[in-house]
Structure 1
Amino acid sequence: MSPIVFFLIVFSIVFLTQPGSLGNIEEITPDVLPDQEVVKMSAFRIELPPEPGPQQRAENLLQLAHFSFQFGQHEQANQAAQQFILEQPGSLVLDYAYYYLASSYANLTRYAEARESIKRLRSSYPQSRLLAEAAFLEADTYFEQQNYATALQLYLALRQQKAYKNHPLLPEALLKLAQCYERTDQLAAARAMYHQTWKEAISTPGYTPARDHEACLLVQHPELLAPISTKDLFDSINTLLKNGKAADALPWLRRVQARSESPKLEESVVLKFAETYYLLRENAKSRAYYREFLRDYPQSKLVPYAFDRIGRLYLREGRLQDFLSISQRLRKEYPTSAYTAAAVRLHGKELELQGRFREAIREFNEFLQKYPKNALAPDVLWSRGWCQYQLQEDQAALNTFDMLIRSYPKSDHRNQALYWAGRAAERMQRYTRAAEYYTMMLKIGQPRSYLGELSLQSLTRLKQRDPNLRVEPPPTVATPLPFDKLPSFSTSYGQLHWQKTQELERLGLPDLAAEELAHALEQEKGSQAAYLTLAHLYSQAGKYHELVRLMQRHFWLWIVRGGDDLPQEFWNYAYPLSFFEITSRHTADSTLDPFLVQALMMAESLFDPHAVSPVGALGLMQLMPATGARLAAGLGLEIDSSDQYLRPEINILLGTTYLRQLLELFQNELPPVIASYNAGEQRVKEWRRNADPDDPAAFVAMIPYRETQNYVQKVLWYYQEYRRIYSMAQGH
């Protein structure tokens, strides 16, 4: 649930007014911009009728325990939980009260009482979904009391249980396990556990503290490094590089380099340094290491790879002639190498970007003649067909696209080959043939997608030109969805948790109800009715990241092929308005469409405010820290830590500021704006030099980075869906 929703719900809670009743929430300050606006809830008390009914009292008590716990008001959470237990001894959801009681005791440093509450929870509710959280909490109580020996045993037990392998609390527990080892002078075990923790938690907030603890331990006790095998060190380096943490790989590389065990190791180290600096975009250092490798290991099988990387570095710097000299050397000395094939393709792509289409076609033809079975062949066919289309050699383009469609039916380029084959046929006024391509795209592709929408528009255009043209309607999913059915479970376990789900929803706690139902569905395969109910609960609770993941996992076919008969509720689940109050506030000047921001956030993070990409992009709009710092400075904001970019208010403010700058730069042309958000404005400026300003689809098609091209198509697709869905909801 978003903070805004929390505040509204907490504000509406009815506090008990009888003698000895609970205290008030004195002050809650939500997560907003410092020095920009501060929203506070002052102490308040709302009078109840003289004798509120038991159902209203139960709802108030559990809500108050839950939200007080969420906001760190532990005394109040403790009292509310105790009162709920006293007044509702037969409640189906009493385990929640015991868990809040235990957690509040722990936060109040009343550890023995916390453990007693956990004991009661375990003995009375053996099927509670909260048993895992309670187990982590119990270990934490011993850790906080500095009883490290007992805490260590409990954390070890948690680590060994398969049921907790993917639990979100496990990384923190492993960090504390390592600290237990360290504080009981088991330093080798501590170092090993810190190391394992950061590897397993590399995409979570647990990565940084585990990394730092290990680094500190190695500074104090360098002898702890000796037992680590070189193979394990390389494995750790590769994990870091794979997850976008090249800077953190450098200290480990230097440790490997210091070993000098064999010439083979030294060769691997040189290449790994070159790769690391390549990923860090430190071009000169990377090139120096690759040249060192070529000088010292001329007989290595990886020499073509090193040449390939040097050539890519030259292209990165715009040094085409230097790249060509590398490419020629590869063709001469290693004519059959896959790296030579890649260099031929790269040369063709560079010529294509420069608008030198005939020269590019020659490179692509050479590739297809010499390397017909290479994995890059579908990509090269697409590029050749595109260059032919740009030269208005429409029959040649049609032949190339046909070859791609027939020879590589599973290629990522198939759908756009179908669409552009239709465009080529249409330009030749072969309207029946063009309609066949567009129709095929809709049949085997996704009607509700970027290319699906373009194909539908093209069919409409053809029908206007030739009213006698037969056009088949796009296929839709015929299977209706059971919106009017409740979930059913075949096991007593599933039935119990479904009953608890209903009770929690009745008590006004849809976020807990959603977690309860999700837990039941992890244990027993659910029906469509169950997943639609879970979607409803996620929507009610404001858990939009979980909602979108659920819809895409279980209802993808309806999302991309759903007909107009699907209810509005379905589309609201598939494309929810996430953090929309903040988004609307930062788009209120009407120069930026809030639906575009929603589409971009969905593509960037699936509405996960805590998302961290492998390259370090942060939050809902996936801001890079350097970009965020530049934007914040322009707004006069002080950013003390990159963690602040995870705050929705700051993230959306900076992200929308950047979008406005891009809209101004590219004169409100959406494809280059979206491409720039992903790949940077300088690259996009280069790509636009030879683009047709009157054909936005052509600009998207010629984007050389497949990742960026897919990203632009996805954002434009989401954007058109947001506009369709919410215009439909408003009756437009």
Structure 2
Amino acid sequence: MLKKLQKKQISLIVGAGLCAFLAGAMFSAPEMGKYLGQWLKQFKNQSEQLTEANKAESAVFPLVLQSPQERAAKLQELVKGFPSPDRNRARYLLASDLIERKQAKEALNLLEGLEKDYPLLAPYILLKTAQAYDILGEEGKASDSRQAVLKRYPEHPAAAKALYLIGLDEYQDKAIASFPSNPLTWDIVRKRLETNPNQQQLQLILAKYAYDEPGSVAVLDRLMKNPTLKPEEWEIVATAYWENNEFDKAASAYAKAAKTPRNLYRIGRGLQISGKREQAIAAYQQLNSDFPETNEAGTALLRLAEMTKPSKNALPYLDQVISKHPEQAGEALLAKIKILQAQKDTKGVNEALQLLVTKHGNTEQAAEYRWKIAQEKAKAQDYQAAWQWAQPIITSNPDSILAPRAGFWVGKWATKLGKTQDAKQVYEYVISQFPYSYYAWRSAVTLGLNVGDFNNVRQLTPEVVPLLRPVPIAGSETFKELYLLGQDRDAFLQWETEFQNKMQPTVAEQFTEGLMRFTQGENLIGIDKISKLEDRDKPEEKAQYEALSQKIIYWQARYPFPYLKEIEYWSQQRQLNPLLVTALIRQESRFQPKIKSVANATGLMQVLPDTAKWIAPQIKQDSKKIDLENPNENIMFGTWYLDHTHQQYGNNSLLAIASYNAGPGNVSKWLQTLPKEDPDEFVETIPFDETKNYVRQVFGNYWNYLRLYNPEISRIVGQYSAKHPQLSQR
């Protein structure tokens, strides 16, 4: 395993091999019969739904990872083969590459007859044909191809693009009427609103489908002045405001929408955030009067409690939550305990605590209380009591953010008590139960696995095998085909046209929307949408998330791998572990190349301009021509500085990463005051919560990239899950 983990180059797996039978080959009759059987099977499969299994059989999809120049010869070989789904894909992809290089005649030769052979992408083949004719200056033929889309496929999302490109008013009217969720339609709408801003139905299209686009709040503000909106239209406006964090305006709009539990809660919350206390209280009280059994009513009671002064008057609200809303009882009990502690009501505190850890022991608040006591016991070196308080968190609160942390420290405390076998079992348990966590990595280190530790992780150069794009779990087969072929613009337009449920997406839709954000370079939004799926609280949605989270495609989407070539190159130059660099970039910027902090730290690795100017002469760069928004330059400067922090601390990555966040002065101070014998103790006692969390998050990222993209570690983690079959189903 050591040799595999320390390979000196990062390799890319491009998937299945090319078709064995190419043009010009001579076949015997039995061979031909065998091949024709495979061909007929492939054609049958073309009409079936794309799955991860039949995706893996394609020789074309892996080529999407390569540049057009790298894949050209392989695509040409496939084009010469017998008719098959992959031959059609190769023709389409090669034609698209040729059009990008303005080689229109060659592209037209590939596209000729493909509409019939490749019905899944038929309207897009016509659009590609029109694009090729445009390059040749044959406008009439280009127009004919677009008109053919409208004639043959008038309801297909590709028709929206044809209508947009034709551009005449009557065609734009059709686009608005038939395809309001298509981004090209939004462009038409915006241009019309520039001419005449007071067009309510056009404004509502942007409010419903483009509320997360720049300039949407100004459109909403104009709609707010319109007294003729219907309740369902007010709800569209309100939700759009809410998604843009305009909570006061959202509350005003929700007040004119239908009275639902969600809408009433958002009225109260919007007013509360805006400082309108009395109005907020009235809204929360109305919610509890009209919909007393709902989860929103329970949350409203909690909000009423936190707004009530003096705090002792909040107890009736909290008692209502405890008795009527068990899912929120833990939060209410914790708030009640704090009030009773302030009143020095020891008996009341003890009764509430007993209720918290018994009847509501599976809540996050129960986990927080258990962990607080466990830490206090450990600090007093009563490791037996610490073990006893923390252990239930692992089984009673498996969904708690504290569960993997508690599990790891149960192992550490078991070791101190001489229970080495118990410690080993609980470390294995953490890896199997919480494989995504920072503490799974710390458990793997403690078990002696070759996954890198704080003192040697920079030197490792793990083999990295990025998988192909996953098959999206929502959307049409046409959309999935476009996406897997790397036709990102058309796939995006197709998806957005299909995605009618944008304000309340299903689990599958939200995951797919995250994937599509990646294709548009919106990596931060994509990661955020995919990560937030774990917050779904409706039972059926939680079940859907749990099923999705068992698939590697979910975790690889949550930990994507943009800028691999740049990371690989500069990591090699600085002799840094490329996965550690990737982990830091994910934490610093979520792979957004132009993002800036309040301190003006810029780009992927959040390099300060002054720091870059200091580094520039040391790497022979012109300090006047620094472009930190350029991914390659940013990684060049950022990896130099990461190498510098490593050199400052004897290549200890724990201290180097802490210094990257908090600065060398603070780390030097901590080395004088914090426990140094045990790095885990050091991390837990870092006095800056931001830096403590930063260290855990960066190394948690590192571990996830290692377990997801390194075949050897992925296999080992899977073995630990197999040891605990009751846990591997989670």
Alignment TM-score, normalising by the size of structure 2:
0.52
The residue aligned with 2:577 is 593
**Conservation of the 8 A alpha-carbon contact between 2:175 and 2:185:** no
Deviation at 1:195, TM superposition (A): 1.8
2:219 paired with 1:189: no
Amino acid in the other structure paired with 1:424? W
Q: Deviations over 1:670-723 (max 9, x none)?
A: 457768989999999999998644433345567968986873453141355489
The residue aligned with 2:414 is 425
**Conservation of the 8 A alpha-carbon contact between 1:422 and 1:434:** yes
What are the residue-to-residue correspondences of 1:261-410 with 2, within 5 Å? 272=270, 275=273, 289=275, 305=303, 308=306, 330=311, 334=315, 337=318, 341-342=333-334, 368-369=353-354, 371-372=356-357, 373=360, 375-410=364-399
CA 1:662–1:714 in 2, change beyond 3 Å: closer, same or farther?
Answer: same
Q: Deviations over 1:203-251 (max 9, x none)?
A: xxxx104445555xx3xxx88433347996687556555x5x43x5567
**Conservation of the 8 A alpha-carbon contact between 1:270 and 1:290:** no
Deviation at 1:344, TM superposition (A): 7.6
The residue aligned with 1:225 is 226
- Aligned-partner Cα distance in 1 for 2:442–2:391: 19
Amino acid in the other structure paired with 1:438? Y
Q: Deviations over 1:520-569 (max 9, x none)?
A: xxx9xxxxxxxxxxxxxx9xx9999999x9xx999976869xxxxxxxxx
What are the residue-to-residue correspondences of 1:617-632 with 2, within 5 Å? 618=592, 626-628=600-602, 631=607
**Conservation of the 8 A alpha-carbon contact between 1:102 and 1:114:** yes
Amino acid in the other structure paired with 1:595? L
- Aligned-partner Cα distance in 1 for 2:115–2:314: 82
- Aligned-partner Cα distance in 1 for 2:403–2:522: 32
**Conservation of the 8 A alpha-carbon contact between 2:370 and 2:389:** yes
Classify the secondary structure of the residue corresponding to 2:228: coil
2:424 paired with 1:435: yes
Classify the secondary structure of the residue corresponding to 1:422: helix
Amino acid in the other structure paired with 1:81? A
**Conservation of the 8 A alpha-carbon contact between 1:175 and 1:197:** no
The residue aligned with 1:717 is 703
Amino acid in the other structure paired with 2:97? F
2:136 paired with 1:151: no
- Aligned-partner Cα distance in 1 for 2:656–2:420: 33
Q: Deviations over 1:24-46 (max 9, x none)?
A: xxxxxxxxxxxxxxxxxxxxxxx
Classify the secondary structure of the residue corresponding to 1:225: coil
CA 1:171–1:294 in 2, change beyond 3 Å: closer, same or farther?
Answer: closer
Classify the secondary structure of the residue corresponding to 1:388: helix
Runs of 5+ consecutive residues of structure 1 not aligned to the other structure? 15-47, 160-164, 259-264, 277-288, 311-325, 349-358, 462-482, 488-492, 524-537, 561-570, 610-617, 638-643
**Conservation of the 8 A alpha-carbon contact between 1:621 and 1:652:** no
**Conservation of the 8 A alpha-carbon contact between 1:663 and 1:669:** yes
Deviation at 1:121, TM superposition (A): 5.6
Identity of aligned residues (%): 16
Q: Deviations over 1:57-112 (max 9, x none)?
A: 99999667423544xx6xx2544433434698986599565331223557899776
Deviation at 1:192, TM superposition (A): 1.8
- Aligned-partner Cα distance in 1 for 2:562–2:556: 11
- Aligned-partner Cα distance in 1 for 2:632–2:349: 48
CA 1:192–1:291 in 2, change beyond 3 Å: closer, same or farther?
Answer: closer
The residue aligned with 2:678 is 695
CA 1:254–1:511 in 2, change beyond 3 Å: closer, same or farther?
Answer: closer
- Aligned-partner Cα distance in 2 for 1:407–1:680: 39
Amino acid in the other structure paired with 1:596? L
CA 1:454–1:585 in 2, change beyond 3 Å: closer, same or farther?
Answer: closer
- Aligned-partner Cα distance in 2 for 1:239–1:574: 25
- Aligned-partner Cα distance in 2 for 1:587–1:87: 47
CA 1:208–1:689 in 2, change beyond 3 Å: closer, same or farther?
Answer: farther
Amino acid in the other structure paired with 1:151? Q
Deviation at 1:389, TM superposition (A): 2.0
Amino acid in the other structure paired with 2:68? I
Aligned match of 1:454 in 428, 442, 445? 442
Deviation at 1:381, TM superposition (A): 1.2
Q: Deviations over 1:353-398 (max 9, x none)?
A: xxxxxx9x99997862464436511222123213322332111111
Deviation at 1:140, TM superposition (A): 0.5
Amino acid in the other structure paired with 1:330? S
- Aligned-partner Cα distance in 1 for 2:578–2:585: 11
CA 1:445–1:196 in 2, change beyond 3 Å: closer, same or farther?
Answer: closer
Q: Deviations over 1:336-366 (max 9, x none)?
A: 7377755588999xxxxxxxxxx9x999978
**Conservation of the 8 A alpha-carbon contact between 1:425 and 1:434:** yes
Classify the secondary structure of the residue corresponding to 1:208: coil
- Aligned-partner Cα distance in 2 for 1:370–1:55: 73
Runs of 5+ consecutive residues of structure 2 not aligned to the other structure? 1-13, 15-62, 82-86, 257-262, 289-299, 319-328, 450-466, 499-515, 531-544, 617-626, 716-730
CA 1:460–1:651 in 2, change beyond 3 Å: closer, same or farther?
Answer: closer
**Conservation of the 8 A alpha-carbon contact between 2:254 and 2:266:** no
- Aligned-partner Cα distance in 2 for 1:235–1:116: 39
- Aligned-partner Cα distance in 2 for 1:387–1:376: 17
**Conservation of the 8 A alpha-carbon contact between 1:587 and 1:593:** yes
**Conservation of the 8 A alpha-carbon contact between 1:308 and 1:340:** no
- Aligned-partner Cα distance in 2 for 1:418–1:111: 68
- Aligned-partner Cα distance in 1 for 2:89–2:266: 64
**Conservation of the 8 A alpha-carbon contact between 2:108 and 2:132:** no
The residue aligned with 2:107 is 81
**Conservation of the 8 A alpha-carbon contact between 2:271 and 2:279:** no
CA 1:410–1:680 in 2, change beyond 3 Å: closer, same or farther?
Answer: farther
- Aligned-partner Cα distance in 1 for 2:334–2:366: 10
How many residue pairs match? The answer is 523
CA 1:514–1:53 in 2, change beyond 3 Å: closer, same or farther?
Answer: same
Q: Deviations over 1:497-541 (max 9, x none)?
A: 99x99xx9xxxx96469999xx9xxx9xxxxxxxxxxxxxx9xx9
**Conservation of the 8 A alpha-carbon contact between 2:405 and 2:439:** yes
**Conservation of the 8 A alpha-carbon contact between 1:139 and 1:151:** yes
- Aligned-partner Cα distance in 2 for 1:231–1:54: 52
The residue aligned with 1:323 is none
Amino acid in the other structure paired with 1:368? L
The residue aligned with 1:140 is 164
Deviation at 1:646, TM superposition (A): 8.0
The residue aligned with 1:314 is none
2:569 paired with 1:580: no
**Conservation of the 8 A alpha-carbon contact between 1:64 and 1:80:** no
Q: Deviations over 1:641-661 (max 9, x none)?
A: xxx998644664576578568
- Aligned-partner Cα distance in 2 for 1:627–1:179: 36
- RMSD across aligned positions (CA): 6.8
**Conservation of the 8 A alpha-carbon contact between 2:567 and 2:581:** yes
CA 1:254–1:108 in 2, change beyond 3 Å: closer, same or farther?
Answer: farther
**Conservation of the 8 A alpha-carbon contact between 2:64 and 2:485:** no
The residue aligned with 1:466 is none
CA 1:409–1:292 in 2, change beyond 3 Å: closer, same or farther?
Answer: closer
Amino acid in the other structure paired with 2:602? G
Deviation at 1:427, TM superposition (A): 0.3
The residue aligned with 1:9 is 68
The residue aligned with 2:130 is 102
Amino acid in the other structure paired with 2:172? A
Classify the secondary structure of the residue corresponding to 2:210: helix
**Conservation of the 8 A alpha-carbon contact between 1:98 and 1:120:** yes
Alignment TM-score, normalising by the size of structure 1:
0.51
Classify the secondary structure of the residue corresponding to 1:100: helix
- Aligned-partner Cα distance in 2 for 1:660–1:66: 42
